[in-house]
């Protein structure tokens, strides 16, 4: 446990380190030492916010410049009409694209480390945090089969399954030799689907087997529930100098990220080539109907519980309005009156006798 003397000694060391031995001791012994400490902490918070937000903005813009030629080659419209890289916070950025065959829209989210928050910036020195990029493509439901297939890094397996219940309910773990089983879990609704995904085009297996991809890839999910979509999440894993390259669109440091963007968009076309046998398709349809009924039942129970809780709360409020608060003396008289009534009822029923025998 940290004592007051130890904390004071630590604060003295900090002041002497920043301001030097003489000035540090003078500040510590002055009557304004706490004010100086508060100003110093606020200054550190402000500087951390400015530097961290600027660092995140630099990473986001460099990544976007690296992938922009790919986006322009595949989508007719980018951004909201005025900006193509949209800021959604100090650590979150969005890219929106539309106007492409077989893909209704694309949303890319950059969830960067919260470098602008002082406690989290300090924590980052001791724990591992990652900058993440998530591609989310809404596919044309008429051009491909309905199925669920997922490749998930085991480090995030539980979190992904909790967020995407259709994977555990519609698909099942599959034995595989395409990726390291200790690193990745593969889910599919049938072994045929998994086989087709990896063998229809050798580029898929070749790319996913690349060591640099396996160091970064967290999940690749193709699903049709509740709507047809394809999502891929990977970690940036950048070196400090990578955010300051002269031309990200051609620099080798960003080649893998450009390839990941191209592959994800190309998969929107590739998915349409995967076919499901008629007997398998009928089984998948039944499973979807059962899962949809299960979700509807859960939603109904949740809505009923919320209505019941809301009704109980309204009754309590109405009772409180009907019964105004009483003084302690009035409450005591009411309690005594109720006790006498209970005694009389008990006497009439023969459970107790009141008065002499």
DSSP string, 8-19: HHHHHHHHHHHH
For CA atoms 74, 75, 79, 84, give the dihedral sign.
positive
DSSP character at residue 227: S
Q: Which residues are 106's β-sheet partners?
A: 97, 137
Distance of CA 199 to the CA centre of its chain: 32
Kind plus residue range of the DSSP H or E element containing 79 = none
Q: What burial letters (b/e) apply to 242-278, b meaning 16+ CB within 10 Å?
A: bbebeebeeeeebebbbbbbbbbbbbbebbbebebee
Q: Which residue has the tokens 């398709």?
A: 281
Concatenated DSSP letters for 86-143?
EE-SSSEEEEEEEEETTEEEEEEEEE---TTSHHHHHHTTTS----EEEEEEEE-TTS
- Distance from C-alpha of 187 to C-alpha of 197, rounded to nearest angstrom: 12
pLDDT of residue 9: 61
Domain boundary assignment for the chain = 4-47, 61-276
- Distance from C-alpha of 227 to C-alpha of 166, rounded to nearest angstrom: 11
Percentage helix, strand, coil for the chain under 3-state DSSP, each rounded to 5: 55, 15, 25
- Distance from C-alpha of 236 to C-alpha of 45, rounded to nearest angstrom: 26
Q: What is the pTM of this model?
A: 0.74
pLDDT of residue 270: 92
pLDDT of residue 320: 60
pLDDT of residue 353: 47
pLDDT of residue 96: 94
Length of the chain: 357
Distance of CA 11 to the CA centre of its chain: 37
Farthest CA pair distance, the chain = 107
Q: Taking CA 250 as the corner, what is the angle to CA 54 and CA 253, rounded to the nearest 5 degrees?
A: 60
Q: Under 8 Å CB-to-CB from 208, ≥6 apart: which residues?
A: 151, 178, 179, 214, 217, 220
Q: Is 291 exposed, middle or buried (0-12, 13-18, 19+ CB in 10 A)?
A: middle
Q: Which two tokens stand for residue 227?
A: 């709507």
Q: Which residue has the tokens 């491909």?
A: 144
- Distance from C-alpha of 220 to C-alpha of 111, rounded to nearest angstrom: 17
Kind plus residue range of the DSSP H or E element containing 229 = strand 229-235
- Distance from C-alpha of 66 to C-alpha of 50, rounded to nearest angstrom: 24
DSSP character at residue 327: -
pLDDT of residue 95: 95
Per-residue HEC secondary structure of 233-284 comes to EEECCCCHHHHHCCCCCCCHHHHHHHHHHHHHHHHHHHHHHCCCCHHHHHHH
pLDDT in tens, the chain (357 residues): 556 566 556 655 655 555 556 655 565 566 666 676 677 778 888 888 888 888 899 999 999 999 999 999 999 999 877 778 999 888 899 999 999 988 989 999 999 988 888 777 777 766 667 899 999 999 988 888 888 999 999 999 999 999 998 898 889 998 878 888 889 999 998 888 888 899 889 889 898 989 999 999 999 999 988 788 999 999 988 877 888 888 888 888 899 999 999 999 999 999 988 888 888 778 888 888 888 888 888 888 888 888 887 776 666 666 665 566 666 777 777 778 888 888 777 776 655 444 444
**Omega into 226 within 30° of 0, i.e. cis?**
yes
Contact 55, 115 (CB under 8 A): yes
């Amino acid at each position: 446990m940290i004592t007051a003397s130890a904390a004071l000694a630590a604060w003295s060391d900090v002041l002497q380190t920043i301001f030097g031995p003489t000035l540090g001791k003078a500040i510590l012994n002055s009557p304004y030492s706490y004010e100086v400490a508060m100003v110093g902490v606020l200054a550190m918070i402000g500087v951390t916010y400015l530097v961290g937000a600027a660092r995140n903005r630099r990473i986001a813009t460099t990544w976007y410049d690296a992938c922009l030629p790919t986006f322009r080659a595949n989508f007719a419209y980018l951004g909201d009409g005025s900006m193509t890289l949209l800021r959604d916070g100090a650590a979150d950025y969005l890219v929106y694209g539309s106007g492409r065959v077989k893909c209704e829209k694309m949303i890319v989210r950059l969830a960067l480390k919260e470098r602008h928050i002082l406690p989290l910036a300090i924590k980052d020195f001791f724990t591992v945090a990652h900058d993440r990029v998530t591609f989310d493509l809404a596919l044309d439901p008429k051009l491909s089969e309905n199925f669920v297939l997922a490749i998930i890094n085991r480090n995030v397996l539980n979190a992904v399954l909790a967020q995407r219940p259709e994977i555990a309910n519609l698909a099942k773990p599959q034995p595989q030799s395409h990726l390291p089983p200790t690193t990745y879990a593969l889910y599919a609704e049938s072994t045929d689907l998994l086989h087709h995904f990896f063998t229809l085009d050798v580029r898929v297996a070749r790319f996913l087997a690349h060591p640099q991809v396996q160091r970064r890839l967290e999940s690749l999910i193709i699903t049709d529930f509740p709507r047809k979509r394809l999502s891929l999440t990977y970690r940036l894993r950048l070196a400090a100098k990578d955010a300051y390259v002269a031309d990200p669109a051609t620099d080798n440091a960003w080649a893998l990220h450009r390839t990941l963007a191209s592959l994800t968009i190309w998969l929107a076309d590739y998915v349409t080539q995967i076919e499901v046998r008629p007997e398998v398709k009928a089984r998948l349809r039944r499973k979807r109907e059962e899962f949809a009924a299960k979700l509807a039942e859960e939603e109904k129970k949740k809505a009923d519980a919320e209505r019941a809780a809301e009704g109980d709360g309204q009754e309590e409020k109405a009772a409180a309005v009907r019964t105004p608060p009483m003084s302690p003396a009035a409450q005591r008289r009411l309690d005594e009156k109720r006790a006498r009534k209970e005694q009389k009822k008990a006497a009439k029923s023969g459970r107790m006798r009141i008065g002499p025998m």
